[in-house]
Structure 1
Amino acid sequence: MSEFKREDRYIVLKLKRLPKDEAEYLRDCHPKAMVECVVVEHDWPEYHLVWAMLEHRMAGKPVPNFNDWRRADELQQLLTAADQQIDDLRAELKAVRSGPCRMIVGDELP
């Protein structure tokens, strides 16, 4: 089989973003162009999973286990948050160390 390539086959308009009369006009004017379909917006968490499912289907491969993908996504989000927290703590430690009052272990307080 040939390599899966994404194609621009559809123009999708979100009806809620159009005035009612424009949506009705488009429906009346182009009834043969109307297609019943499922749309997954790019900012939905399922977006990449749906693309992966389609790529596997077109390649004749079994559909991936989405629970594994979701778990991997959750773990990646946790790693990203932990990395950010580490960066924040390092910056805070650097600020404390370079502050006006350095305290060395063994120094006595007045």
Structure 2
Amino acid sequence: MSEFQREDRYIVIKRSDLDKMSPLDRDVALSNLEHVAALLFGWNAPERKCLVIESDWPEYEPAWQMIERRMTGQPPVTAAEELDAVLHWRGKHAQVIRERAALQSDLNERDQRVDELLEIAQTLTVQLHEALGNTEYHEDCIRDLAALNPTLKPHTCCGSCPAGCTIGAKP
């Protein structure tokens, strides 16, 4: 018997993916799908009822294994083998969830550190402005700080620089 090959036999569109479209695009897509269904009906194509298992589900590989065994004449998957496969993929899924949570936690910590560093940079810029009063240098610091964090809340100008800055102001 020849080696089992997975085939791409069906076109599947998830309904929730259609909901992500604009109303106009969704209406056009649904109209086109209805037209294809009518053409298939006119050509006497049988109505199909299918079970779709997405590849990130733990049941995906065990289902393929069952189909492969049937198509190659092997005995059906035993309950123990099926349970082992499901437990294996559930374990993989749980591992991915844990890794994602750890990455999100790391990202949150890094975002917090960036916020802290930006606050330090703003404080240092204010101190440099007060200590040096060097307008050219001061303008460079303001530009650099604004490039780092364009969401800094402006204050009123302290009035001590000709540039009319908002950094270093006393609230």
Unaligned 5+ segments in structure 2 are 20-25, 96-171
Match of 2:14 in 1: 14
Pair member with larger Rg? 2
TM-score by length of 1: 0.56
RMSD: 2.7
Deviations 1:27-46 (A, max 9, x none): 31111277321111010000
* Displacement after TM superposition at 1:24 (Å): 2.9
Q: Aligned to 1:30, what secondary structure does the other structure show?
A: helix
How many corresponding residue pairs? 77
Q: 1:41 to 1:74 in 2, by over 3 A?
A: closer
Unaligned 5+ segments in structure 1 are 81-110
- Which of 49, 72, 75 aligns to 1:36? It is 49
* Displacement after TM superposition at 1:9 (Å): 1.5
* Displacement after TM superposition at 1:22 (Å): 4.0
Identity of aligned residues (%): 42
Q: Aligned to 1:63, what secondary structure does the other structure show?
A: coil
Match of 2:65 in 1: 52
Q: 1:30 to 1:48 in 2, by over 3 A?
A: same
Bigger helix share:
2
Deviations 1:39-79 (A, max 9, x none): 110100001101101100101111212123234x17965xx
- Residues 1-110 of structure 1 aligned to structure 2 (within 5 Å): 1-19=1-19, 20-31=26-37, 32=40, 35-65=48-78, 66-71=82-87, 73=88
